[in-house]
Amino acid sequence: MLEYKKEIVVKRSIRYTEPTDTGIFAQGAKYWVKVTDDAEEPGRGCVHCATCVESCTHNLTKPESGMGVFSMETRYLDADGSRVEPEEKDRAAFLEKILWINPDECCNCKRCVKMCPQRAIKVTHNPDYQEVGVTLSGSEVINNIISRAAGKSTVSSAHLGKYPSKMDQDWLIDAAEILSPQRDHLHEFAGQMRKMTLGKRGARFVCDTPIFDVHQSYGSNSHEAILARMTASIKLGRPFFTGEGYIHPDMMPAAKHCILQFGSGGYGPWLELDKFAGISMKYGQDAKKGKGGRLQDKKNDYEIALLRCVEALRHLTAPNPQHLQYSIEELPMRVESLRMLLGDDKLIGADVYGTAWNFPEIAVAIAKAGFDYITIKAGDGSTGAAHSVDLKNRGLNVVYLTHAADLALRREGLREDISVIAEGGVMDSFHAFLVMLAGADFVGMGMRHLHVLGCTLCQRCHTGQCAWGITSRPYGHRIDPETAGDSIVKMVHSFHEDMEGLSAGLGMSTHSDVVGSRRFRYHGSDPLLFDTFGQKDFPKQVQTIIMKESRSKVFIPEKEASEGLRDKFEAVLSKIEGDSLTIDIGFDQIESLELNFMMKEAVRRGVKKFFLDNVMGQRVIGTGIKCDEITVRGLVGNHSFAFVNGTKINVIPNHSTVTTVPANAQVGVANTANPGEINIAGDVSDLFAAYSVSGTYRVAKSGGVRNLLLMKAGVPEEWRNIDTERFENAPKDEILRELIMKYQRRRAVRSRMKWSDFVKLAEAKLKKRKPPVVVYGLGGERRMGDYFMEYAQGGIGVVLNVADIANPIGYYVCSGMTAGSAYIRGEILPEQLGAGVRRLDYLTPEDRSFLKKQIEEFIARFIDVDIDEKYNAQLKTFAETYAKDPERIFSGFCKIIPKAAPAHNNE
């Protein structure tokens, strides 16, 4: 290192980078960054400590540069002021340290301001950017047009909406009446909101606060941000909502405090689900108006791939709709399958957005379907990434939506069957209390929890450059989860105490007094809100509700069903032989839920193998059943084998009747499954093996629409080895200690290496995974349906085409696939391919080796099964052809992969 002479002079300067554009595209900085020197503010000026350089991470123009708004340059000068190389130490007379500032990259996150030890940095709005145009077409419009013309991204995040919040003013809570005087919540039992329950039927979660956090996924938040919010929720006695990114294995000790979100992407290993507090089905979020999310490849690192069971460093796309049900009428079926999976004491919720014109009807339909709670996603809800046009033009006001849903539920006699959580633009305790008066049981605040971690709404969440480490995983270590969690607890306690004071001020005693009392007025300019909450007389505002008898779809609890059918159950269970049980369904003699309850009781009595005879479309077969093997003779009903884990399943035809019952499977079978293997000696219908995570699946004949939707890349062994048993009954303190201890171990490893090296530690775990493989024989009755392997994020699909159909598959083949591959034997026209994939007409030696194994195992599985006369002959011919001339079979295959994916071995 250069040793400077005593007479060397150190010069310090602050400079701004030169603009790269001129003319109309020289928009300049939206925010101006001013750093003062010691001459301007003696004793407070910049000392060139480079804290700001380390703190700032924002650089959209050159994201890989490692520098943000600030950079530090050191120059060596001789006595004449000419530049010299550092090695020429004898000539160096001056050392110049230059702090370069590029304000064009500033997003006003304020980290540099807060971290500067001299308080020498000020960030202000730049008038040259903000003051252009006339009132009608001001800077917002003009700069938006220029940015689009320059090809800049239109994706943004964490937006508060196009217009000022309608929660912030023009609302007044009524004064207490003379017959219900104000009370003192600090010294009387008044206004208390404690020990409330989320869920009003069998499944309930006892809560100590009406203020909830909201769903934010692991990946959209850093590890530390998630952990801070999780520990805060545990301490506050409320559920923690995971978002649709699952949770980290280190956080599994807290499973009983967590509600998993099943989004349209279906991410996660989906194991040990009965250890969680429940599952929330995501049907939309208002910030995207029903659109699915997208995680860019650079944010889908190896650790994210480990959690979500996908391939790393690929774009993750969640489809817009929730495909496992397409109509209101199908909702009860989905709830039914989840109830069979989770049992009677776990919560099942629905997250819905409030932009639909028939929102009250949707709320009623959800309650009738059997959900335990509904989360209303209202206007001003935020997001980690969405197009700005969606962010700025969103749903209705949260007070109005809550009011509409509450009244609709009361009219149908359903209000006491379901809890309501409302969120979207709630900024403080007054807003939260107002929403509860409108009819919500609980209120969600998302951004408020992130402010505690440092969020200033700089709208860079989607870039992965958050300087505070909230939405940027490489900088997550800037958050201390334990301290941040305690700060969240203090914030919520403060809000909660405010709300209890407001409640007592209205003469109310308990939480139930507040919910839906509507003791407020609106006197603002919004016509919808004024018509609803302002101009009408108070009695008309509340409306007289004639309570109807509840018509909600309430499933009979297992215990109640077992008691009511004791003789029937015992007659079946008395036939247990060792670890095996044969159940004769008698076609219609045992209903779907009865069968599921019987099998669960049999498992408790030691049964590991089931033979189900004379099955005729019973639903949810095997869902929630922990056993080794299930053989079904007959027709399998909707949502059977969902979420199975490690089970071997065989479905065979029933030839013992006058008319053969084919070994077919109906809609949604084997969704979100992790089987050992599933062999179906017939056809399958729509959404077969959708969201499948691991295992081998064989279908003798054909498949329906959207088979293998969002297929994943396999479950890492780490997930299979997690032990949560010892934490099922553990107290909060023990769980919190375990969470912090695991984080300290993680941080110790993280501190010894760069972030890129740290996340790569998960790569070896990913390589040991076995992706799901699904093989279709394809009989002659029909070809495969449309959207085969749509949005696949791993896994392999094979269509053998044993019937030699000329064009064996429908349209949109592999549309949206980001990882994985499909091998299809037969002609596929270019217009049949989906977007974003390419076709290869050759097989590598590795491809042939893989297909050889799959073909031989498929033939061995079905060649001796009497499926039907026509198919038996087709399969026999196919097997003979393969045995004599395998090249003839191989030559008919093409391979379909994502355009960006390498064409290498998929085995």
pLDDT for position 904: 40
Percent of the chain residues past pLDDT 90, beyond the cut: 67
If you write DSSP's letter for every residue of 251-309 in order, what string do you get?
Answer: GGGGGGGEEEEE-TT--S---SGGGSSEEEEE---TTTTTPPPEE-TTTS-HHHHHHHT
E strands present in 211-266: 211-212, 240-241, 258-262
Say yes or no to pLDDT of 11 above 90: no
CA atoms within 13 A on the CB side of 568: 16
Residue-wise pLDDT tens digits, 337-352: 999 999 999 999 999 8
pLDDT for position 848: 97
Contacts of 861 (CB under 8 A, 6+ apart): 679, 698
Say yes or no to pLDDT of 122 above 70: yes
Task: Tell me the helix, strand and coil percentages in the chain, rounded to 5.
Answer: 30, 20, 50
> Among residues 827, 828, 833, 818, which one has the least CA distance to residue 899?
818
Say yes or no to pLDDT of 546 above 80: no
* Band (812; pLDDT cuts 50, 70, 90): very high
Three-state DSSP class for residue 122: strand
Say yes or no to pLDDT of 866 above 80: yes
> Among residues 841, 840, 831, 791, which one has the least CA distance to residue 809?
831
**Higher model confidence: residue 137 or residue 418?**
418
pLDDT for position 907: 32
pLDDT for position 872: 97
**Mean pLDDT score, 189-211:** 92
Provide the mean pLDDT of the chain: 90
* Band (190; pLDDT cuts 50, 70, 90): confident
pLDDT for position 825: 97
> Among residues 791, 183, 158, 758, which one has the least CA distance to residue 505?
183
**Mean pLDDT score, 85-90:** 73
Say yes or no to pLDDT of 5 above 70: no
pLDDT for position 454: 94
pLDDT for position 551: 56
Distance of CA 314 to the CA centre of its chain: 17
Say yes or no to pLDDT of 330 above 60: yes
Say yes or no to pLDDT of 895 above 70: yes
**End-to-end CA gap in the chain:** 52
* Band (905; pLDDT cuts 50, 70, 90): very low
pLDDT for position 903: 45
* Band (827; pLDDT cuts 50, 70, 90): very high
Are 294 and 263 spatial neighbours (Cβ–Cβ below 8 Å)? no
Residue-wise pLDDT tens digits, 761-775: 999 999 899 999 999
Rounded to 5°, the CA angle 215-722-484 comes to: 40
**Higher model confidence: residue 702 or residue 316?**
702
Which range has highest mean pLDDT (262-276, 385-399, 870-884)?
870-884
pLDDT for position 1: 45
Task: Classify strands 155-156 and 70-77 as parallel, antiparallel or unpaired.
Answer: unpaired
**Mean pLDDT score, 571-598:** 96
Please give the Cα distance from 654 to 863 (Å, whole number): 17
pLDDT for position 179: 65
**Mean pLDDT score, 273-280:** 94
Please give the Cα distance from 406 to 412 (Å, whole number): 10
pLDDT for position 8: 76
* Band (550; pLDDT cuts 50, 70, 90): low
411: number of Cβ within 10 Å: 16
563-572 CB contacts, 8 Å cutoff, 24+ apart: 565/594, 568/594, 569/597, 569/598, 569/601, 572/598
Residue-wise pLDDT tens digits, 366-412: 999 999 999 999 887 788 788 787 777 777 889 999 999 999 999 99
CA atoms within 13 A on the CB side of 47: 9
Are 865 and 681 spatial neighbours (Cβ–Cβ below 8 Å)? yes
Residue-wise pLDDT tens digits, 620-632: 999 999 999 999 9
Percent of the chain residues past pLDDT 70, beyond the cut: 94
Say yes or no to pLDDT of 541 above 70: no
Say yes or no to pLDDT of 854 above 50: yes
Minimum mean pLDDT range among 190-204, 210-224, 670-684, 796-810 = 190-204
Helices 481-505 + 429-438 axis angle, to 10: 60
pLDDT for position 906: 35
Helix (H) or strand (E) run with residue 780 in it = none
Domains recognised in the chain with CATH numbers:
9-152 (3.30.70), 171-542 (3.20.20.70), 681-715+772-898 (2.160.20.60), 718-767 (no CATH)
